[in-house]
Amino acid sequence: MSAVQTITLAGEMAMKRGSIFTPTLAYETWGELNAQRDNCILVFTGLSPSAHMCSSTLDPSTGWWEDMVGPAKPIDTSTYFVICINSLGSCFGSTGPASIDPQTQTHYRLRFPVLTVEDIACSAGHVLDHLGIDTVHTVVGASMGGMTALAFCLLHCDRARQLLSISSAARSLPFSIALRSLQREIIRKDPAWDNGNYDFSNHGPVTGMRLARKLGMITYRSGAEWAERFGRERATGFQHSDDSFGNDFEFEVESYLENHANRFIGSFDANCYLYLSRAMDLFDAADHGGSLDVSFSKLKLRTVLVIGVETDFLFPIQQQEELALALNKHVEQVEFKRLPSIQGHDSFLVDMDRFRPTVAAFF
């Protein structure tokens, strides 16, 4: 059973570069809103997760941040009322390119307006309105979710007291833009993408999505971790053959990528992936004032924790430091925590021994 709740806005929602009609926003909540309505933690996700961050009575399936969120966990649902929002533009209940446009009764596909991180942040304001919450205790986000959390604080200056930014950045730089741009092009160049008009029942550009996912996985981890984990181990069952370019992968790392990429197929809509990926490229917090300094001068946050990982090369540690330093000029209490995890960008999902105590200490 799903614990997903939805609200559908009346009329048009204006976006940064277009508008959509009566969008639906999907979210899950855990814990209880207190009488003062001031114990809300709002969590934005990375590119691909749904709002199902952790299990609950309604939906006991394991969530994507199960070890971090729950009763007596670092994000403690017995103390806080925790909301996780499925990003606008995604495909797990919120309106996105795979949704039906009520005005045409056909799927949006590429007619969905250009999506920005600001649009995702802005839409979250409607969820808070619906739940009767003026101000959240803390906005939390990792990766793209960190950008969205920051955008939320910039757009809704009065609605957040604390920010927890994990492995994110104040803006996308050309190295990560190039990697995401290539992932998108790999999908678009799959003939099955068909300019966005693929048949949903066939999962669309399966090959393009598999290859893009592999590239994603390579960039989410680190060379150091894989050297330790796989070394030059051969794939189980691999046998030398005269055909070096058949379907067999010789090394364990190749077979690992293959298995993981195959699991991704059918679980995410290709057009939604394109829109969310592009939204990350477009994000630059400096757009809100002309420079990071001017943008951040409007913030009314009291406390910020920026967590970064040394082996993350998609959101490198220098960018975490840049974000913390820029925030430090305008927010009273800014802490920058540099973690030596070896799992790269994905560390917040897997290196729980380091992330759990760091997040727990913040709350």
Active-site annotation holder among 119, 312, 346, 351 = 312
**158 classed as catalytic:** no
Q: Tokens representing 213?
A: 């996912």
Nearest distance in Å: CB 109, a copy of itself: 10
Alpha-carbon Rg for the chain, nearest whole angstrom, is: 20
Q: What angle do CA 115, 180, 346 make, to 5 degrees?
A: 100
Place of tokens 């160049």: 189
Active-site annotation holder among 143, 172, 176, 341 = 143
**240 classed as catalytic:** no
Nearest to a copy of itself of 242, 353 (CB atom): 242
Nearest distance in Å: CB 17, a copy of itself: 7
Q: Are 124 and 150 in contact (CB under 8 A)?
A: no
Rounded Cα distance between 330 and 153, Å, is: 13
Nearest to a copy of itself of 261, 307 (CB atom): 261
Nearest to a copy of itself of 159, 213 (CB atom): 213
Using the Cα atoms of residue 57, residue 129, residue 123 and residue 18 in order, give the sign of their dihedral: positive
Place of tokens 């799959």: 190
Look at strands 160-166 and 12-15 and give their pairing.
unpaired
Nearest to a copy of itself of 118, 252 (CB atom): 252
- Site of interaction with a copy of itself (CB under 8 A): 17-18, 110, 113-114, 171-179, 181-182, 184-186, 188-189, 191, 196, 207, 211, 214-215, 218, 222-223, 226-227, 229-232, 240, 242-245, 249-254, 257, 274-275, 278, 281-282, 284, 313, 316
Please count the CA atoms within 13 angstroms of the CA of 14 that sit on its side-chain side.
Answer: 1
Q: Are 293 and 329 in contact (CB under 8 A)?
A: yes
Active-site annotation holder among 345, 346, 347, 351 = 345
- Which DSSP helix (H) or strand (E) runs through 82? strand 81-85
Rounded to the nearest 10 degrees, the angle between the axes of helix 174-188 and helix 270-282 is: 160
- Which DSSP helix (H) or strand (E) runs through 29? strand 24-30
Nearest to a copy of itself of 223, 340 (CB atom): 223
Nearest to a copy of itself of 189, 329 (CB atom): 189
Q: DSSP alpha helices (H): ranges in 61-205?
A: 117-131, 144-155, 174-188
Q: Are 184 and 278 in contact (CB under 8 A)?
A: yes
- 72 φ, ψ to 5°? 65, 15
Nearest distance in Å: CB 331, a copy of itself: 24
**312 classed as catalytic:** yes
- 153-168 in b/e form (b: 16+ CB < 10 A) is bbbbeebbbbbbbbbb
Nearest to a copy of itself of 52, 210 (CB atom): 210
By annotation, the residues acting in catalysis are 143, 312, 345
